[in-house]
Copies of this chain bind each other. A is one copy, B any other.
């Protein structure tokens, strides 16, 4: 079965996604941010250790810093007595203290090793008697010492460019004394809602108007996936307004997403306008919902026109644009959280179209505990135009092109919103 949009055959989902990913380039712009803001950003420099780590020889245990030769033969049968002449704690500068034969210093874990010492005997192998300590066990040269540079040598590469700065790696930057770090900029995604009937939330609704949902859904999703939303407001369906907005959006952003105006109806000027300005990658997808989706390249930038119906708009953004945003942002592929469930009822799906069906889950508590009963998925989809298709939905299932019917009771993987 073949489907059409305005007389042209539809593009299959996989082919459309491939064209987008082949077209889009990872961001090249970088910026320098404090490490406190660097979590989950992508490193745009190679981080080299500016000093040895640890920066000095230090005690790896609480005990006594000694000369190894003094205790080389120590044992319970052959205890070795040493004079304790002081104590070095972590953070101390023991430059005035020195260990010589017959003499030792008490040291705490992390304390710099005093001059002359080449071994640390842990407390448990000693007995303290006033100013004297008796060592009951021998330890080899350098035992229980973290040597200067043993962890990292000055000049070594510690983190490579393109590393995702998860909390552990933010800590690594701090450990090297870094206050700031250069990361890739967040790609800017311009978001434009179009339609003379669209009103801004917070403003009163006139007869014939409905509120803009897509700007907010898209902006929230754009942020989640490492990009920066640039909302451009609501633009009425007039050619000059749309053209001006497209020009401005291309100037300020790395990519532009329009919602609405993409079917082949009355006021659908936008597809024609985008087509005139650049090269169309596809217009019309073999999917449900989301058929009118259009993608083009204008001035070397990706311009997407998503359908205006909220469910269609969100679903296409999730499955088609999230991979694009993440590639631009240099983030790893997204694995949405998913759970297994059983279909409550049979679901028909048109042959040749990939269906993305929003579902609501039963016996599921959003991961706030465990459940014993089997999780059940039922369709949350009424019409693409409805709010309840989203407000009732916990996630979605994907029905491949070749599947025309899923029986009640089929086990399905639900990708959570």
Report which A residues bind B (CB closer than 8 A).
35-36, 38-40, 51, 53-56, 60, 62, 89-95, 108-112, 146, 150-152, 158-159, 164-180, 195-199, 201-203, 205-221, 223-224, 231, 236-237, 263, 265-267, 308, 310, 314, 332-333, 335, 337, 366-369, 382-383, 385-388, 390-391, 393, 416-417
Contacts and interface: CB of A to CB of B under 8 A. Distances in A.
A89 B385 CA distance: 17
A267 B217 contact: no
**What's the dominant secondary structure at chain A's contact region?**
loop
Contacts of A158: 387-388, 391
* 6 smallest beta-carbon distances between A and B, as pairs: A91-B196, A179-B202, A332-B367, A171-B217, A91-B197, A39-B220
B314 A390 contact: no
B314 A167 contact: yes
Contacts of A95: 207
A330 B171 CA distance: 26
Contacts of A151: 382-383, 385-388
26 contacts: A35-B216, A39-B224, A40-B224, A56-B207, A60-B385, A91-B208, A92-B208, A93-B206, A109-B263, A110-B195, A146-B385, A151-B385, A151-B387, A158-B388, A159-B391, A166-B220, A167-B217, A168-B391, A168-B417, A169-B417, A171-B310, A172-B213, A175-B213, A179-B201, A179-B202, A333-B369
